[in-house]
Structure 1
Amino acid sequence: MFPRLLPVLFAAVLVLSGCGDGGSDDNTQASGVAAANAWVKATDMNMSAAFMVVSNSAEEDATIVGVTTDLTDTAELHETADGTMRPVESLTVPAGGSLMLEPGGNHLMLMELTEAIDPGQEVTFTLEFDDGSTFDVTATAKDFAGGAEDYEGTEEH
């Protein structure tokens, strides 16, 4: 009897899976976004940074305009150009492409941390896009002494 019910159950699952709310979530910039290899620099100082590869499977660019995390109220999008680290208003993840956030390049800057970030700790970030959509990323903290970053800040920070 069970073998005869299997096709019926499978068909029911298929029909019900199409019964989502169908809201605008399917048309947001965040809907085409994925993140891989997300990590944050472990530190006991008041500054750190987060890195990952953000990909975009959509046919339109996705523009990141902000980032938030529970670790601080001061998280910014940063670039490193000509050896200088500075905040930027946005970072674009090209349609059908990816954006590398890496030491010595574009990254998420975390300032005025409220607590230390320990190796192995899981940290959640929310990427905010210019259409108002958001995407949550969980990064694992790890020790990192390389790269050209100096997390002492600049006159602006």
Structure 2
Amino acid sequence: MRRRLGPAALAIAGALALAGCGGSDSGDSGDGGSGKAELSAGSAYMPQPVSGDMAAGFLTVTNKGGAADELTSVTSDIAGQVTVHETVDGAMQEVKSLKIPAGGRLELKSGGDHLMFEQLKSKPKEGQTVSVELHFAHSGPMKVEMPVKPATYTPKTGH
């Protein structure tokens, strides 16, 4: 014998069925439901500059959050300006921002995307540390200490 469900029972059954159907826009993005970028920086360094007016900087920004972000600018007391560059087919060009994917990373490395410190106020020397502040499209600013390495330094890991 088959029983017919009343309207209230059908509504509850429908609600329970829909509750298990979360799409990617349900707020569950693998980051505890925050839907925000969770940024950290590591592997930062600056090769000792060979010229007195420019230097390069490298680091990795990791995003453990469920939303993408973008590195939009960098500031440092040692330079008149710090610009963000991408390298495409061996040619570098200044860009307004670099993307940091959700659950991914932005790697700034020698021969690739990088920071350019221009109009140096003093020439950083090996063993010193340069302070930089990273600015993002959606996250708050982040201070990073960047050790000055030999001009020929090549990192073993992290890049």
The alignment's TM-score, normalised by the length of structure 1, stands at 0.70
> Which residue of the other structure, out of 85, 101, 108, is the alignment partner of 2:108?
101
Partners of 1:97 and 1:133 in 2: CA distance: 18
> How many corresponding residue pairs?
120
> Which residue of the other structure, out of 46, 49, 52, is the alignment partner of 1:40?
46
Which amino acid in structure 2 is aligned with residue 139 of structure 1?
M
CA-CA distance at 1:119 after TM superposition: 0.4
Alignment of 1:1-150 (within 5 A): 29=37, 32-43=38-49, 44-131=51-138, 133-145=140-152
CA-CA distance at 1:143 after TM superposition: 1.3
1:38 to 1:63, Cα distance in 2 relative to 1, 3 A: same
Gaps of 5+ in 2: 1-33, 155-159
Structure with larger Rg: 2
- Asked whether the equivalents of residues 36 and 52 of structure 1 are also in contact (C-alpha less than 8 Å), the reply is yes
Gaps of 5+ in 1: 1-25, 148-157
- Let me know the Cα RMSD of the aligned residues: 2.0
- Asked whether the equivalents of residues 124 and 148 of structure 2 are also in contact (C-alpha less than 8 Å), the reply is yes
Moved over 6 A (4+): none
- Asked whether the equivalents of residues 28 and 133 of structure 1 are also in contact (C-alpha less than 8 Å), the reply is no
Partners of 1:139 and 1:28 in 2: CA distance: 26
- Asked whether the equivalents of residues 66 and 77 of structure 1 are also in contact (C-alpha less than 8 Å), the reply is yes
1:69 to 1:28, Cα distance in 2 relative to 1, 3 A: farther
1:67 to 1:97, Cα distance in 2 relative to 1, 3 A: same
CA-CA distance at 1:145 after TM superposition: 3.4
- Asked whether the equivalents of residues 46 and 147 of structure 2 are also in contact (C-alpha less than 8 Å), the reply is yes
1:74 match: secondary structure: strand
